[in-house]
Amino acid sequence: MNIDWRIAMALNHLSAFENAVDKGSFTKAAQSLGTTQPSVSRHIAALEDLLEVKLFNRLHHRVELTPAGREFYEAVKLGLGHIRHAANRISSQRTPNTLLIGCTYGFAHLWLMPRFSNLQKFMPDYEFRMATADTNTLFDLQETDFALRFGSGDWSDGNSQKLFGEELFPVCSPQFAQTHFGGCLNIDADALTRAPLIHEREEKYSWLSWQQWLGRHEIEYAPAADTYFYDNYALTLQAATEGLGIALAWQHLAEPPLKSGQLVELTGLRVSTKSGYYLAYRRNHPQADTIVDWFKSMAKSQENLLL
């Protein structure tokens, strides 16, 4: 069967597949898409038939990605993210009351989306859209109204306000911590190098890699040649919750799985830098003060809860 034909046929099913992974179940995906659970199941089954590969393992009351499904999901997320970004950028429907926010998929999934309804209620006269990317792109401030950027805040194309700093620490599932370290308290940094480490693809403007983080603990380390690198932070944390190894976490972005107990911190190993997450925006943007105040208040509220 011609692969181009398969892809063309599969386009109708990709949104259902993406939502099923993001929401963690076919039922929640159906609610998000405004359809029914059987409809989502049919889309997934049709997609598996077209690709001639199993994407999900159907377990009791839940589903989980197969290795092939995880690989395909990363490609789908990246591709649909580029399409959404381009559509938002060129859309002739955009009005002065539409505000576009650019951020990584991980930031959107783990931090912004849980607060998005609050933002919409805060400014009900505006329609908010998100442009996401798996890479740590800076997002052009001529194409987006606001952009969440990681770095030192010294960009020349606009203004920026720091939301929170960089403090990285190792996390894993409770079962993984018990199996490999007998718990999660006061772990020796060198012991981590003898356990599976979960890596994220390194970029020019990225946060600390395992190699850099371990270097802060005066430990030499280099990933093996066959190391797998995840393409976005949400998938990195998901792999850790599934017990695949140890990931580096930010308290602000990893709060949901840490709070739920899906992840635990291996304590005594936090590393801080001068970098952080910033809200960037064009100079003299008419809604800058209001949006900046909202983001800073959300960051402050979270900071108070984490103390």
Question: Is there a single domain that holds both residue 39 and residue 85?
Answer: no
Question: Is there a single domain that holds both residue 61 and residue 11?
Answer: yes
250 in a domain, yes or no?
Answer: yes
Question: Is there a single domain that holds both residue 89 and residue 129?
Answer: yes
CATH number of the structural domain spanning residue 92: 3.40.190.10
Q: Is the pLDDT of residue 285 over 90?
A: yes
End position of a domain, from candidates 68, 95, 114: 68
CATH number of the structural domain spanning residue 20: 1.10.10.10
- Domain, as residue range, for 256: 165-273
Quick: pLDDT tens for 11-50: 668 888 888 888 888 888 777 766 778 878 888 888 888 8
Which stretch of 88-102, 204-218, 224-238, 258-272 has the lowest confidence by average pLDDT?
88-102
Fill in the DSSP letter of residue 277: E
Q: Which alpha helices (H) appear in the chain, and where do they start and end?
A: 3-23, 26-33, 37-51, 67-90, 105-107, 113-122, 174-181, 189-192, 210-216, 233-241, 255-260, 288-306
Question: Is there a single domain that holds both residue 158 and residue 219?
Answer: no
141 in a domain, yes or no?
Answer: yes
Which among 44, 30, 107 is positioned nearest to 295, based on CA atoms? 107
Radius of gyration from C-alpha coordinates of the chain: 20
CA distance 145 to 156: 16
Question: Is there a single domain that holds both residue 171 and residue 266?
Answer: yes
Which stretch of 26-35, 122-131, 261-270, 279-288 has the lowest confidence by average pLDDT?
26-35
Question: Is there a single domain that holds both residue 94 and residue 40?
Answer: no
Question: Is there a single domain that holds both residue 169 and residue 232?
Answer: yes
117 in a domain, yes or no?
Answer: yes
74 in a domain, yes or no?
Answer: no
Q: Is the pLDDT of residue 145 over 50?
A: yes
Question: Is there a single domain that holds both residue 154 and residue 287?
Answer: yes
3-class DSSP state for residue 37? helix
75 in a domain, yes or no?
Answer: no
More confident call, 60 vs 26: 26
Domain count, the chain: 3
End position of a domain, from candidates 19, 36, 68: 68
Which among 74, 102, 77 is positioned nearest to 88, based on CA atoms? 102
Question: Is there a single domain that holds both residue 102 and residue 183?
Answer: no
Which among 114, 216, 223 is positioned nearest to 169, based on CA atoms? 216
Residues 6 or more apart whose CB falls under 8 angstroms from that of 253 comprise 106, 107, 110, 111, 233, 237
* Residue 56: burial class (beta carbons within 10 Å; 0-12, 13-18, 19+): buried
Beta bridge partners of residue 247, listed in sequence order: 171
Tokens at residue 172, please? 């894993």
Q: The whole model's pTM is what?
A: 0.66
150 in a domain, yes or no?
Answer: yes
73 in a domain, yes or no?
Answer: no
First to last CA, the chain: 57
Question: Is there a single domain that holds both residue 172 and residue 295?
Answer: no
Question: Is there a single domain that holds both residue 158 and residue 287?
Answer: yes
28 in a domain, yes or no?
Answer: yes
Question: Is there a single domain that holds both residue 157 and residue 281?
Answer: yes
